[in-house]
Amino acid sequence: VGSSVFSQFRWMVEPAVGDDAVGVPSDPSVQFAGQAAVAWDIDMGALPASARPKAVPRPPRWAADPSVQYGRGVRKMSGAKVVKPRRRQSSNMTCERLEAFKAEQASTLSQLKELQDTGNWNRVHRLHFDWWMFPIDDGSKEKFNVTSEEDIDTLRGDPAWLEGYHEGVRLVCLSWGWDVSATRRVELLPGMGYQNWDVRLAKMCRSLYLFKEEALLKSVQNFAYQVQQSEKKGAGFFYGLVCLDELLYFELPRC
**pLDDT tens figures, 161-202:** 999 999 999 999 999 999 999 999 999 999 999 999 999 999
pLDDT higher at 82 or 89: 89
Whole-number Å distance between alpha carbons of 50 and 96: 46
Residue 77 has pLDDT above 70, yes or no: no
User: Cβ(246)–Cβ(54) under 8 Å?
Assistant: no
Of 17 and 240, more confident: 240
The per-residue pLDDT for 126 is 97
- 54-59+93-248 topology per CATH: 1.25.40
Instruction: List, in order, residues 6 or more apart from 90 with CB less than 8 Å away.
Output: 147, 148
More confident residue, 109 or 9: 109
What are the residue ranges spanned by the domains of the chain?
54-59+93-248
Write out pLDDT tens, residues 145-163. 999 999 999 999 999 999 9
Q: Kind of pairing, strands 8-13 and 38-43?
A: antiparallel
Give the start-end residues of each E strand in 83-220: 178-179, 184-185
Look at residue 46 and tell me whether its pLDDT is greater than 90: no
85 against 164, higher pLDDT = 164
Q: What is the pLDDT of residue 64?
A: 86
